């Protein structure tokens, strides 16, 4: 036990003292926050007002297209050739031609642009025409627009779960997001830290350092020490990322929201000057809705949604399945590292190991849709898929007996894979200059001594 603790200490300190570990631990949350900030600012600054010319040959749609901050529609009676010549001049970006027989045919609308027509513009034009045709036909049938509007009703439902006779609010959206993020983090951790175990063993084997280490400790102790040491490195990095990310989200989000509001208001005011009177009135109504109030309301909704989740169960389960999934797969990664002489030789052995975890990540999207299906239940029991699938299910609520069975099987799976890996490790760690095959690995399992 003393030797295992020494190996764990060595593996942990050797990695956390590296400059790359310190730099990535600090820069990780900052880079992610910066990426989102750039995307948001780029999205806001890319808003460019488009001037659209409209030639209505049917005479039914004049003044019916509502202008907005993105699109301003100007109807014209000029001939088509003259309107085409105006494209690209005086900020005229597109030309819409509505045919005379639009009511009977429903086709023939043409949109011209010098640099191609955006999907957003096409959808907006088609939607405006469809809505007006619908209104005209309803009016002819004796149904006014006011009657149609009064018939519309927004229905909001409240979801609740029944547990042991008591009612509790639930949120499918919050459960899906939390479950998806937890599964992704475990999926990422298995590959990142499992690969570290494999790479570390391969480096020590090729440099012959392992020959000196093996003279003092048993191969099994060395394998366990490496696996646990890297696991502690992973927990340390994840813990620091959570703390730093919380700070970045809190302070960076506050600064970014203020700048975004100021930028958006400046853009809105600059664009309003070019809007028609009716579009200006609409824009003023939209601006009355304070972004700060909306943000506060959105944050309140997020907090209420999180309150519906079993937070304590999720945190405890995440820590267990994070460690369980990592320990199970890292043992196999370690066996691969001991069996080969270089990283290029690992490919033939990596595929069978990684297929279950990749398949679990792909199946997670179906489990989110129905967390209590047979597929979800069985895959959350199998040790090779349970770390991801069970973490997707737990936010939705899982019976305790299913969690207990999943935990027992995962522990048993870890013990089995560690035993299997140790049998390969003890032989492969001192094997040099030989191309290993699956048949050869099978023989190593039954070597005595």
Rounded CA-CA distance 28/16 in Å is: 15
- Residues 367, 373 contacting (CB under 8 angstroms): yes
Q: Which helix (H) or strand (E) holds 161?
A: strand 160-163
CATH of the structural domain 50-147, one choice from 3.40.50.300, 3.40.50.720, 1.10.3720.10, 3.40.190.10 = 3.40.190.10
- Between strands 166-169 and 160-163, the pairing is antiparallel
Helix/strand number for the chain, H first, E second: 18, 6
> What is the value of pTM for the model shown?
0.64
* pLDDT for the residue 383: 92
Q: What is the pLDDT along the chain (449 residues), one digit of tens a residue?
A: 777 888 788 878 888 888 877 888 888 777 777 776 776 666 666 556 677 788 877 777 777 777 766 777 788 887 777 877 877 676 677 888 888 777 776 677 888 876 666 777 778 777 777 877 787 777 777 777 677 777 777 776 666 666 555 566 666 777 888 888 888 888 888 888 888 888 777 777 777 676 667 667 777 777 788 888 888 888 888 778 777 777 766 666 666 566 556 555 554 554 455 555 555 555 555 444 444 444 444 445 555 556 667 778 888 888 899 888 888 888 888 888 777 776 666 777 788 888 888 999 899 888 888 888 898 999 999 999 999 999 999 888 888 899 999 999 999 988 888 888 878 777 777 666 667 777 777 777 777 65
Domain boundaries, the chain: 50-147, 170-445
- Residues 309, 173 contacting (CB under 8 angstroms): no
* pLDDT for the residue 296: 42
- Residue 158 C-beta-side C-alpha neighbours within 13 Å: 6
- Residues 183, 176 contacting (CB under 8 angstroms): no
Rounded CA-CA distance 38/41 in Å is: 5
Output the six-digit token pair for 253: 């989000």
- Residues 102, 109 contacting (CB under 8 angstroms): yes
* pLDDT for the residue 350: 81
Rounded CA-CA distance 333/346 in Å is: 9
* pLDDT for the residue 297: 43
Rounded CA-CA distance 132/111 in Å is: 18
């Amino acid at each position: 036990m003393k030797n295992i603790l020494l190996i764990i200490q060595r593996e942990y300190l050797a990695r956390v003292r590296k400059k790359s570990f310190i730099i990535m631990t600090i820069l990780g949350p900052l880079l992610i926050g910066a990426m989102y900030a750039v995307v948001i600012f780029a999205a806001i600054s890319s808003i460019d007002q488009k001037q659209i010319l409209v030639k209505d040959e049917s005479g039914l749609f004049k003044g019916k297209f509502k202008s907005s901050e993105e699109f301003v529609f100007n109807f014209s009676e000029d001939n088509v050739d003259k309107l085409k010549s105006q494209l690209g001049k005086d900020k005229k970006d597109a030309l819409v031609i509505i045919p005379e027989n639009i009511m009977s045919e429903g086709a023939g609308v043409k949109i011209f642009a010098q640099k191609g027509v955006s999907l957003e513009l096409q959808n907006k034009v088609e939607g405006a025409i469809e809505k007006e045709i619908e209104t005209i036909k309803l009016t002819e049938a004796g149904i006014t627009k006011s009657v149609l509007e009064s018939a519309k009703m927004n229905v909001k439902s409240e979801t609740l779960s029944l547990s042991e006779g008591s009612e509790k609010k639930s949120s499918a959206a919050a459960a899906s997001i939390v479950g998806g993020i937890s599964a992704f983090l475990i999926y990422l951790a298995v590959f990142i830290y499992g690969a570290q175990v494999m790479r570390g063993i391969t480096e020590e084997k090729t440099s012959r350092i392992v020959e000196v280490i093996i003279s003092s400790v048993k191969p099994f102790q060395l394998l366990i020490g490496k696996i646990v040491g890297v696991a502690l490195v992973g927990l340390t990095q994840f813990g620091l990322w959570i703390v730093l990310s919380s700070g970045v989200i809190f302070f960076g989000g506050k600064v970014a929201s203020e700048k975004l509001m100021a930028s958006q208001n400046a853009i809105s005011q600059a664009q309003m000057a070019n809007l028609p009177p009716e579009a200006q009135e609409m824009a003023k109504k939209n601006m009355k809705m304070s972004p700060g109030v909306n943000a506060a309301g959105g944050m309140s909704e997020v907090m209420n949604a999180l309150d519906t989740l079993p937070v304590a169960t999720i945190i405890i389960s995440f820590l267990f399945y994070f460690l369980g999934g990592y320990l199970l797969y890292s043992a196999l990664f370690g066996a691969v590292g001991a069996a080969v002489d270089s990283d290029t030789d690992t490919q033939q052995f990596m595929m069978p190991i990684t297929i279950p975890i990749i398949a679990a990540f792909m199946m997670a999207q179906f489990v989110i849709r129905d967390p209590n299906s047979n597929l979800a239940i069985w895959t959350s029991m199998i040790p090779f898929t349970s770390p991801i699938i069970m973490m997707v299910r737990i936010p939705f609520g899982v019976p305790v007996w299913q969690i207990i069975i999943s935990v027992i099987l995962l522990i048993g799976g870890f013990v089995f894979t560690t035993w299997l890996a140790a049998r390969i490790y003890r032989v492969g760690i001192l094997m040099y200059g030989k191309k290993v095959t699956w048949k050869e690995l099978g023989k190593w399992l039954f070597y005595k001594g």
